[in-house]
Structure 1
Amino acid sequence: MINETILNQDVKLIDVHSTKTLNDDDRTQLIEKYGLTNEILDYADDENERARFEYDDISKTYLLVYNVQNENNQTTDLSQRTLPISFTIKDNQLFLFTNDATHYIKDYLLKAKQRIKTNIKDKLWEYIFNTFDQITSDFSDQISETDSIRNNIQHLIKRHHSSEKQILELANLQDLTTYLNTAINGNLGVLKQLELISSGNVQDLHLTKSAHEHLHDSMIEIEQIKNQADLSSDIIDRISNTYNNILNNRTNTTMKILTIYTIILSIPTIVSGFYGMNMKLPIADKGWSWVFSLIITIIIILVILWDLHRRDTL
């Protein structure tokens, strides 16, 4: 589905919204009516495309592929928690390529309309940079939510209330932070490439001082989020390792206790079995011989306990 929206007198938004991928009718319209190329559409329509910046010198078209979060943040497939969207700039037209899970990005562009002055230059790029800022804020919120879940798990571990559920949650958090880190690093690479190109004369991209400062601020912001995501991922890995060490220590303690019980409980069996043999034994014919066997059993148990304590195994 293709919808046109006037952002202001100089900028037109072409909202290309697909259920999953572009259909043939939309692709034909984008090529014949708007002059986009098949190559640009292939990049924009690829749901597995990495974050990138491209410029088609022949058609004078810019393409930016950027990672955003899935609107359904409860999806069980963590690999789908971050998805690519595409911005295409041709003439004074801004094309936004999204699907059902990422179409909320259009609202960010419409909100940016209220913050951008009508008399500034580089309006197209200002719309994109404002949207980038909001996307970065979304990643920051997701990382904060991840930190909150991690703190709850850490609290349960300290109170010795850990269980298999916490192990699975930690594993999910590790996977999620990996996907978030990958998406954020990809977006940072796009901004760095934009800043590098806009600062030179390699390609036809010349930003005004104001737009270039905005780009630089956006890059600093996403670098901070990247550091936050790296720290969160590192802490989760450390907690996971600590949790594994705790579980291993509990297993070792359990095995040690079972071993001690096995040794101690085997002593009465040995003594009683010895005196139960069909042969002549000292004081076996006395009425109080069973008391004697108990005394021997207790003495041997005490000696073994003393020896285990001496070796610091208790």
Structure 2
Amino acid sequence: MLKLFKTDGGVLSRLNDFEDGIWVDLADPTMDEIKLIAEKYQIDTNDIIAILDDEETSRVEQESGYTFIVIDIPSEETRHGRSAYTTIPLGIFLAETAIVTVCSEASDIFSIFNRKSMRSFSTKKQMRFVYQVLYSVAVEYQRLLRYIDKTRKEIETRAINNIAEDTDLIDLHELESNLVYFTASLKSNMLVIDRLVRYERIKKYSEDKELLDDVVIEIKQAAEMTDIYINIIHGSRELIASVLNDKLNRVMKLLTSVTLIMGIPTIVSGLYGMNVDEKWMPLSHMQYGFGLICAGIAVICVLVILIMKKSKLL
């Protein structure tokens, strides 16, 4: 989808036609839209198409007539039947008269501009735009990291309350996978920022120094949060594995105890069922012999149960 935006007096408005100093947003673009933008701003078509590849790496490239920036942004997906997060490339092209953003899907990253909550936002100041996008990306990473940690706490609470299930280990594995993607992407984005600062051909504004510092702080904070949450999830996985193993051990102990107790009447009935002369079998000639044998079996079973409980085997 192709959208055109421009700021006028700090207000972001959507346009119906191309102008100078605009922001061109390409989300899941068609081939016709890609060719249109490539021809309009003299951008290599292959550079735009490359953004649609989920494996495209973060980088900064200086081409003739435009600067090509790729960063990783978080994205929601379905993995193994569960809602999960990954990262996808976002391309930012700084052309002579416009800013062009390209992504394989519509993202909430730019909602901060639409809500008019970003100060001094201007589609004409290209590097400020890039820094603001990076800031928005860092904030989005932190939001998702807090959500991931909240999910982890819910799983851990179930484990503490002894209602953990096998699926909780799978959920934790998915959360850990999300954090691995985030770690790699945040490190790549940090490298992009370092290169942007060193590029002399890109026009910068002195008043953007504070914004750049905020971007660096937020991305570093997101990276630190990711590392911390990965370590915490390792501990949570060990906790849940221990809880599940404890539940299994208790079940096995119970089954073993039941097997032992049920073995007593089985042994007695097996002995009395042997094909021998009845005169050798105790109580075989008594009127209430069968009842006495059953009562004896019950007494022995009760004694065994009491002994096992006293020994904490049951």
Q: Does 2:119 match 1:115?
A: yes
The letter for the 1-side match of 2:176 is: Q
Structure 1 stretch displaced more, 294-303 or 214-223 = 294-303
Within a 5 Å distance, the mapping from 1:187-226 to structure 2 comes to: 187-195=189-197, 197-198=198-199, 204-205=201-202, 207-226=204-223
Structure 2 unmatched ranges of 5 or more: 10-18
- Matching residue of 2:245: 248
- Matching residue of 1:97: 102
Q: Specify which of 146, 149, 171 is matched with residue 147 of structure 1.
A: 149
The letter for the 2-side match of 1:233 is: I
CA displacement, residues 133-158 of structure 1 (integer Å, 9 cap, x when unaligned)? 12211221112122222222222222
- Matching residue of 1:174: 176
Q: 8 Å contact 2:42–2:65 — kept in the other structure?
A: no
- Structure 1 residue 251, shift from structure 2 partner: 1.3
Report the Cα distance in structure 2 between the residues aligned to 1:4 and 1:300, rounded to whole angstroms. 83
CA displacement, residues 284-305 of structure 1 (integer Å, 9 cap, x when unaligned)? 4445655367447745874696
Q: Does 2:245 match 1:257?
A: no
Q: 8 Å contact 1:51–1:67 — kept in the other structure?
A: yes
Alignment identity in percent? 22
- Matching residue of 1:34: 41
- Structure 1 residue 109, shift from structure 2 partner: 4.4
Q: 8 Å contact 2:84–2:174 — kept in the other structure?
A: no
Q: Specify which of 183, 186, 193 is matched with residue 185 of structure 2.
A: 183
Within a 5 Å distance, the mapping from 1:260-299 to structure 2 comes to: 260-277=257-274, 278-279=276-277, 280-282=280-282, 284-287=284-287, 289-290=289-290, 291=292, 294-295=295-296, 298-299=299-300
Q: Specify which of 14, 21, 28 is matched with residue 12 of structure 1.
A: 21
Taking a change above 3 Å as real, the CA distance of residues 11 and 154 of structure 1, as seen in their structure-2 partners, is farther
Report the Cα distance in structure 1 between the residues aligned to 2:270 and 2:218, rounded to whole angstroms. 77
Taking a change above 3 Å as real, the CA distance of residues 107 and 313 of structure 1, as seen in their structure-2 partners, is closer
Taking a change above 3 Å as real, the CA distance of residues 114 and 238 of structure 1, as seen in their structure-2 partners, is closer
Superposed CA RMSD: 3.6
How many residue pairs get aligned? The number is 297
Structure 1 unmatched ranges of 5 or more: none
Taking a change above 3 Å as real, the CA distance of residues 11 and 150 of structure 1, as seen in their structure-2 partners, is farther
Q: 8 Å contact 2:52–2:89 — kept in the other structure?
A: no
Q: Does 2:73 match 1:68?
A: yes
Report the Cα distance in structure 2 between the residues aligned to 1:231 and 1:94, rounded to whole angstroms. 36
Q: 3-state DSSP class of the match of 1:177?
A: helix
The letter for the 1-side match of 2:26 is: H
Taking a change above 3 Å as real, the CA distance of residues 11 and 111 of structure 1, as seen in their structure-2 partners, is farther
- Matching residue of 2:13: none
TM-score normalised by L of structure 1: 0.76
Taking a change above 3 Å as real, the CA distance of residues 8 and 94 of structure 1, as seen in their structure-2 partners, is farther
TM-score normalised by L of structure 2: 0.76
Taking a change above 3 Å as real, the CA distance of residues 112 and 191 of structure 1, as seen in their structure-2 partners, is farther
Q: 3-state DSSP class of the match of 1:187?
A: helix
